[in-house]
A and B are shown apart, each in its own frame.
Chain A
């Protein structure tokens, strides 16, 4: 029995700062995905919404919010929150329902209207909340952590600011070819170097912006896809949603300290690497099988970290991989052919879904000027605050 589910449709609302409600973005993306799938909304048996925690109360119950906007039709409903991994958990929930025989066609939607400037915790005095504490006690914003990782890579692996800038140059060049990207302009290394330092050593153009956006997928059983006349759909072969293993020894958002390794020897494999490994094992593939990867480039330096965590190269060799053009368009494993967060910005519950949209278009050969030639296997990788793993393997 196949464990695959079919991707019948993919849709997005363009990323940007549009000043509208997350409901509008998600509904537009959903309608686009349904049209792409040639599925009537009334024939969808389940809807899964990836939640935003902004946009007010309805954001916490995104599944029902999108179902109401599309018109109540009695579908099973699920809403999931897993910070940046919300989209992957939504895909995971939809897939589980399909594989369990609970639903034949599932609509997955994530959308957000992000605030201006830094992400920040919700209001109130909450000394029991690590996310609140890191802001209150240290003023440690998200870029603070990106800066720590970048500086650590420079010290341990010899990465340079020029390497980081070249990640932005690469992703901006791809984003310029993507009609859904917020930033559609090429960027030069000189422009990166001339932008303001945000968190040493990272500059404004090393760090992703916050954005509005929406993304949606129509997933189905393989049987439904065949009955629907789609013999060779893009298939989702793995969804990794693993948690870390104690003790985590890499300082991570939103924590003020790591776990101590004094009593338990840490695993050889760090959290991000375990996210990818779980996906590879479930899919029965390895990094050598990949045609492309979409990774969570919250910062330029973090994209390099993902190369190692995905096993595209050995530890410390990511900058070399980049310099050799392996991860560039036309390279052996193009990374962030969509333009990545560098070009999209963060729309938290939508981003992991948007990554799968890009894999879908690439595997269908429908990615236009940014098409990865002959793409057969793609992985998306991401990480949600508070220990939410997120990776999806899609194949054609």
Chain B
């Protein structure tokens, strides 16, 4: 449902942002139209692969089924998932994402190292919607 936010396979998987050629500001989700730095007259916005690893800024979970437009199978019982806000040091940005399935809030701590991995948001008979997940480093599940 969103194009150009991530690409790559396996260890090469990365979130994609953009960087202003004039002031070096970084944007995620990608900003392709104008640089949002008020001191910048505006430059070309070039695609940038974000750091693979970062540290947990904070985390929480969703114990109740989120409303539409989040897509879930209402026939199945709700399975809570964790959400992690991750600080990427090189880009000095915090990016929110779901934790990989199986990682719960009890497995997390502020400051812990995590890495970005490909994930599945939801799928039906025709389409699989892919996304990014955060996974504590050292966890291979």
Q: Is the CB of A200 within 8 A of B61?
A: yes
Closest-CB distance, B107 to chain A (whole angstroms): 12
Within 8 A of A (CB), among B78-103: 81-83, 85, 90-98
Q: Which residue of B lies closest to A249 (CB)?
A: B94
8 A-B pairs whose Cβ atoms sit less than 8 Å apart in the complex: A127-B1, A135-B66, A136-B1, A148-B83, A198-B63, A200-B60, A246-B38, A251-B94
Interface of A is mostly: loop
Interface of B is mostly: loop
Are A133 and B29 CB-contacts (below 8 A) given A144-B60, A246-B36?
Answer: yes
- Inter-chain CA distance A226–B131, complex, in Å, is 63
A residues near B131, Cβ cutoff 8 Å: 137
Q: Is the CB of B1 within 8 A of A260?
A: no
Q: Is A314 an interface residue (CB 8 A)?
A: no
Q: Is A194 an interface residue (CB 8 A)?
A: no
On B, residues with C-beta under 8 Å from A are: 1-2, 17, 20, 23-29, 36-39, 57-64, 66-72, 81-83, 85, 90-98, 105, 109-111, 121, 131
- Inter-chain CA distance A199–B64, complex, in Å, is 8
Q: Is A196 an interface residue (CB 8 A)?
A: yes
Closest-CB distance, A300 to chain B (whole angstroms): 14
Q: Is A100 an interface residue (CB 8 A)?
A: no
Q: Is A69 an interface residue (CB 8 A)?
A: no
Are A257 and B69 CB-contacts (below 8 A) given A127-B2, A246-B38, A263-B23?
Answer: no
A residues near B72, Cβ cutoff 8 Å: 139
Q: Is the CB of A149 within 8 A of B96?
A: no
B residues near A156, Cβ cutoff 8 Å: 110
Q: Is the CB of B69 within 8 A of A135?
A: yes
Are A258 and B93 CB-contacts (below 8 A) given A136-B1, A138-B83?
Answer: yes
A residues near B109, Cβ cutoff 8 Å: 155
Task: Give the contacting residue for B2; candidates A121, A137, A148, A199; CB below 8 A.
Answer: A137
